Structure 1
Amino acid sequence: MRQNLRLGHVAGIAVGAHWSTVVIAVLIGGALATAVLPQAVPGQAQERYWLVSAGAAILFLASLLAHELAHALVARRRGVPVKSITLWLLGGVTEFAEDTKSPKAEFQVAVAGPLTSLVLCGVFYLVVLLVNGPALVVSAVRWLAVMNGVLAVFNMLPGTPLDGGRVLHAALWSKHGSRTRADRTVARAGQGLGMALIAVGAMQLILMSWTGGLWMMLIGWFLSSAARSEGLVKAAQEGLRGWHVRDVMTASPDLAPAWQDVDDFISTVALRSHQTVFPVVDFAGEPAGVLSLDVLSALAPEQRRDRRVSTLARPVPPDHLLSPDDDATRILAGPAAGELMGVVTENGHVVGMVTTADVTRALRQAVLRATSAEQPAPAPRTGSPGRDTETADGTGIG
């Protein structure tokens, strides 16, 4: 997930926040200041409600960060590199550079977050019990204890991408010895869980609170979508395993010279090519960007005059630069830039590109290979006297 705000590094791990974190902070602060705290401790000045609510919202975000840090630190101890931690609207995301190597390691990484939230729940309750402070502050700390408890329990629901889904995945992986089988099962579980939450939210919307119902439906929609996306990514990784980029790429694609006039490029290349996206190259043949037909089509004819291709090119993200000998799963490392998923270079020159259509074709071929390998060769059947013997598909073999 993209970080709009860099918060620094904790234990060497880059920490940031998505812009939606501001939304959740405001929602939490507003709910506390206008409903939760006035109901628990009535008769206080409105400024005090807002001041305490702001502090509680910040502490809750810090609790989310602690939850994610627990995942990250345990993962790093188990040899899994950690890229970053990002806070956002529905919690936090810890991005790993690679998957865990064993079910045991996956289980340990998964439970670290909920356990941390449970510990924080206990700590906040101890503060409520042992510290004789202002009633308004005590109520806010009690709310933090409850919310950390809810966070721990909710995250243990058995469906990806929740921590409970990771625990289920580790258990299935350990039981059956197949990571792929576990991937499919937890993806389906996550989608089912998401749909169940949407149904519960819809009932709540009709019978009780429209705000709570909408929030539950939003969470359910996110879980269902995330589970489906993760399932597709896992399936794609499995399908491309053992392949190289050269097996997937479009070799020797039509290129867009950065120095060429836009009108000239359109007439000599774009209108004659079957491609919808073109790697842009400099004089040395090195990648200088990407140009799509959509960008060209959106340009008015008068805007094309005396304009170079380089002025329309978008930069190529570093994780989209590939080598023909790279493992094909590297194609999935970053999000697609439109239809383009990678520019392939060799000795500094562009020799190919990978589009979403290339990946789709490769995955369908992988499915065909897998099903062909699983099916035994068709057994011959004996034909009628005087007729040729045929295979089961009706093809004569003479």
Structure 2
Amino acid sequence: MPQRLNGGYDKNWFRPSFHVASGAMDEHRTASAPASPKARPEPQERGSGIRLGRIAGVPIFLAPSWLLLAALITITYGQYLSSRSEALTLTTGLAVGFGFVVCLLISVLLHELGHAFTSRHSGIGVRGITLEMLGGYTEMEKEAPRPGVELYVSLAGPAVSLAIGLLAAGAAAVLPPGGLAETFAFQLALSNIVVAVFNALPGLPLDGGRALQALVWKLTGDANTGRIVAGWVGRLLALGTAAVAVLLLWSPLVHGYFGILFTLLVALTMWVGAGQAIRHAKAVGKLPPFSARELARPIVAVTQPTPLAEADRIAALGDNERRPVVAVVDGAGSLVGFLHGASARAVPAERRPWVPVGDVTRRIDEDHVLTGDLRGAELLQAIRDDPGGDYLVVTGEDVHGVLRGAELLALVAPNRRPRHPTARRNST
């Protein structure tokens, strides 16, 4: 049965209160959390790299790897332009090359904004956009609820790239032929059309792979089956891309090794992304068909001064199969955090009657609160920033208990250790 928070669960500020078990005399008392006048904070933004700002409320980040690619494209394109025209100096060529890189960056950003806006319009939500060496990715707040939404969001990016390519091609058609502006517009059109066509290929981690996943999901009724099929097709496409790179070695149209190495890097990235999608699908398939509410352990709450030994005694009174999690509250009954298992176990037995639980408490924040109805892929996604953490499970004003991320992870990957909460997430 869920616990009812005294005064209700304040969604604006994470200060719920409990019926507290007093550590000294095992009495129970009630305390309510003070009301907070502040508004509910916005969802925490996600991304890695240099923060560029926000567009329509969407945080934008630039990965450092993009700077390396920008330098390589600037040099390669600048040398190409200066070699075609004796009137164009290398310095001018490099300046134009850098301008071309900026246009490519804007094109990729518009591509990702296509995903972001359609995602937000569909009710999925967006945490941020990261622009990186081989393009970029948009991080959603949750999985698409239906195949049609997945298809809609996945094809929005290539559609934007195709539109940019066609506009640039129209500009190239009306500009004076042979001029620098016409060459620039043609290259911009070609790059965006290639991005649109390549991303539409039906294999993960490409956008077309997500579209294929949606179609298989629609036919089979299983999103995981769609992810596995699209992942294996993505691996085949990665091998094909690597084969194209090898064939380019003997092509008379290719001068230098930059394009070949870049194509091989794309193939490697596709292979890794496809493998991640397959492993994710298998992990979700191993999850029990239960919600976070049903997987949560019960809670027993004690105040911060309660001796560790007394907290152990109170917790031992619960079900042995589902031992309660010790929640630590302050004098007002507001949740501070949970007893940190590793820290508590490190306290010697002779000191446990004297060490207060407040000294071995892991504090909890809004990022460690889960909705009771979460299950499957959405549940895994909700804990991915801290897979080994403890999460308070609530529905409205009811507290159901604590979900331990390490226990959930053990169900899907028994031999895997939780990664550090600051480790970088992989998204496609």
Question: TM tier, shorter chain?
Answer: 0.5 to 0.7
Equivalence for 2:404: 354
Q: Which ranges in structure 2 are unaligned for 5 or more consecutive residues?
A: 1-45, 313-324, 347-355, 415-428
Choose the corresponding residue for 2:388, options 320, 340, 344. Answer: 340
Please list the CA deviations of residues 41-72 of structure 1 after superposition, one character each: whole Å capped at 9, or x if unmatched: 34412221122122111111111111112222
Shift of 1:246: 5.7
Aligned CA distance change for structure 1 residues 205 and 241 (closer, same or farther; 3 Å):
farther
Equivalence for 1:197: 241
Equivalence for 1:91: 135
1:243 aligns with 2:243: no
- TM-score, with structure 1 as normaliser: 0.68
Equivalence for 2:51: 6
**Structure 1 counterpart of 2:268, which letter?**
W
Aligned CA distance change for structure 1 residues 77 and 230 (closer, same or farther; 3 Å):
same
Q: Give the conservation status (yes or no) of the 8 Å contact 1:20–1:88.
A: yes
Aligned CA distance change for structure 1 residues 328 and 110 (closer, same or farther; 3 Å):
closer
Choose the corresponding residue for 1:214, options 240, 243, 261. Answer: 261
Matches within 5 A, 1:111-130: 111-130=155-174
Q: Give the conservation status (yes or no) of the 8 Å contact 1:286–1:348.
A: no
**Structure 1 counterpart of 2:65, which letter?**
S
Aligned CA distance change for structure 1 residues 231 and 249 (closer, same or farther; 3 Å):
farther
SS at match of 1:87: strand
Equivalence for 1:36: 80
Matches within 5 A, 1:38-187: 38-132=82-176, 135-187=179-231
Q: Which moved more, 1:345-354 or 1:86-95?
A: 345-354
1:319 aligns with 2:367: yes
Aligned CA distance change for structure 1 residues 106 and 246 (closer, same or farther; 3 Å):
closer
Using the alignment, how far apart are the partners of 1:232 and 1:111 within structure 2?
A: 24
Q: Give the conservation status (yes or no) of the 8 Å contact 1:107–1:170.
A: yes
Equivalence for 2:67: 22
Q: Which moved more, 1:195-204 or 1:164-173?
A: 195-204
Please list the CA deviations of residues 305-360 of structure 1 after superposition, one character each: whole Å capped at 9, or x if unmatched: xxx9999999867433447x452445422565676144447899996562445423
Q: Give the conservation status (yes or no) of the 8 Å contact 2:328–2:361.
A: no
SS at match of 2:129: strand
Shift of 1:136: 2.7
SS at match of 1:98: coil
Using the alignment, how far apart are the partners of 2:360 and 2:190 within structure 1?
A: 53
**Structure 1 counterpart of 2:182, which letter?**
V
Q: Which ranges in structure 1 are unaligned for 5 or more consecutive residues?
A: 269-277, 298-307, 365-398
Shift of 1:128: 1.8
Aligned CA distance change for structure 1 residues 200 and 94 (closer, same or farther; 3 Å):
same
Give percent identity, aligned residues only. 24
Aligned CA distance change for structure 1 residues 210 and 235 (closer, same or farther; 3 Å):
same
Aligned CA distance change for structure 1 residues 216 and 249 (closer, same or farther; 3 Å):
farther
Using the alignment, how far apart are the partners of 2:148 and 2:276 within structure 1?
A: 25
Using the alignment, how far apart are the partners of 1:79 and 1:350 within structure 2?
A: 26
Q: Give the conservation status (yes or no) of the 8 Å contact 2:287–2:411.
A: no
Please list the CA deviations of residues 223-269 of structure 1 after superposition, one character each: whole Å capped at 9, or x if unmatched: 1222222233344345447413365567779x9x9999xxx9xxx9x
Using the alignment, how far apart are the partners of 2:305 and 2:124 within structure 1?
A: 44
Equivalence for 2:42: none
Q: Which moved more, 1:22-31 or 1:150-159?
A: 22-31
Using the alignment, how far apart are the partners of 1:80 and 1:349 within structure 2?
A: 25
Using the alignment, how far apart are the partners of 2:63 and 2:339 within structure 1?
A: 27
1:223 aligns with 2:256: no
Using the alignment, how far apart are the partners of 2:400 and 2:203 within structure 1?
A: 42
SS at match of 2:143: coil
- TM-score, with structure 2 as normaliser: 0.63
Please list the CA deviations of residues 24-43 of structure 1 after superposition, one character each: whole Å capped at 9, or x if unmatched: 3222222211x332233344
Shift of 1:91: 0.7
Please list the CA deviations of residues 193-230 of structure 1 after superposition, one character each: whole Å capped at 9, or x if unmatched: 22333344355569875433332222122212222222
Shift of 1:291: 7.3
Shift of 1:152: 0.9
Using the alignment, how far apart are the partners of 2:196 and 2:211 within structure 1?
A: 13
Q: Give the conservation status (yes or no) of the 8 Å contact 1:280–1:310.
A: no
SS at match of 1:340: coil
Using the alignment, how far apart are the partners of 1:241 and 1:184 within structure 2?
A: 19
Using the alignment, how far apart are the partners of 1:17 and 1:28 within structure 2?
A: 17
Larger helix proportion of the pair: 1
Q: Give the conservation status (yes or no) of the 8 Å contact 2:232–2:274.
A: yes
SS at match of 2:180: helix
Q: Give the conservation status (yes or no) of the 8 Å contact 2:115–2:138.
A: yes
Shift of 1:151: 0.5
**Structure 2 counterpart of 1:108, which letter?**
Y
**Structure 2 counterpart of 1:19, which letter?**
P
Using the alignment, how far apart are the partners of 1:80 and 1:252 within structure 2?
A: 31
Q: Which has the higher contact order (CA 8 A, sep 6+)?
A: 2
Q: Which moved more, 1:118-127 or 1:310-319?
A: 310-319
Aligned CA distance change for structure 1 residues 287 and 245 (closer, same or farther; 3 Å):
farther
**Structure 2 counterpart of 1:340, which letter?**
G
Shift of 1:145: 1.1
Equivalence for 2:426: none
